[in-house]
Amino acid sequence: MPYLGAEGKTGFQKFAPSFSNFEPTLSKFPRSPKPPATRYGFRTDAAPNAMTERTDPSADPSSPAYALLDRLGIAYPTLEHPPLHTVEESRALRGEIAGGHVKNLFVKDKGGNFFLITAEEDSPLDLKTIDKVIGAKGRVSFASADQLMTHLGILPGSVSPLALVNDGDGTVRFFLEKKLMRYDILNVHPLINTRTSSIARDDLLRFIEATGHSVTILDLPHRSVAPADEEAR
């Protein structure tokens, strides 16, 4: 299934990512069978069941995303780290990870529609005018934590395009900033902000389409000066 670009073009050359320069703490999932273990309060061997992830605090929240990535044969080298809540924290703690780094905004409009926007981390997005670009009904605002859990099955601070795996009803519309297409690898949270997974750009697009969502790639409006307190949601 092809994905759509802002100019109507489809398809990109496949890229075989290399992560040989990653630190030893970088690990590839899934792991070989072993007894149950925990990290940051979550089991690392939980069964991949999206409903379980939303209701069982002992389950690994990354499991739904990992399960689909595995099914699609997509590599996702993953670095575990302390919780990251903002772009600034991400820069300070992620170390030298190749590829593009993103921020994600989960917003709603006055018509009750929901949008997930993934942009380059330094993009000073203009939320006052972005509604005209994404086709929202009136100015958008950030969705609540309850709405985030209801539609994407994740907590604030962990927003990621991988969370579309939990939107089984296809309620959320997805937009990717065109600037990110210059990177061969994109780094995203696998549904929790204590991990960062590095995924080949085209594979990430393939993952999103496999969740039943369309990928709309376009230029997003920027403010003339980025607000100092803009955070990665």
Q: How far apart are CA 73 and CA 94, in angstroms?
A: 25
pLDDT of residue 32: 34
Digitized pLDDT (tens) for each residue of the chain, 233 residues in all: 444 554 444 444 444 444 444 443 444 434 333 333 333 323 233 333 333 334 454 589 999 999 999 999 999 999 888 887 676 766 665 566 889 999 999 999 999 999 999 999 999 999 999 999 999 999 999 999 999 999 999 999 999 999 999 999 999 999 999 999 999 999 999 999 999 999 999 999 999 999 999 999 999 999 986 454 444 44
pLDDT of residue 40: 30
Q: Kindly list the distances between the CA atom of residue 75 and the CA atoms of 64, 175, 199, 231, in Å, as whole numbers in the listed order.
A: 15, 23, 7, 28
pLDDT of residue 208: 98
SS3 for 132?
helix
Cis status, amide bond into 161, omega within 30 of 0: no
Q: Which of 119, 120, 118, 138 is nearest to 128 (CA)?
A: 138
Domains of the chain plus CATH, in order, are: 26-218 (3.90.960.10)
pLDDT of residue 224: 83
Cα–chain-centroid distance for residue 124?
Answer: 18
pLDDT of residue 113: 98
Tell me which DSSP letter residue 25 carries.
Answer: T
Q: Kindly list the distances between the CA atom of residue 77 and the CA atoms of 10, 34, 97, 119, 128, in Å, as whole numbers in the listed order.
A: 27, 19, 11, 21, 36
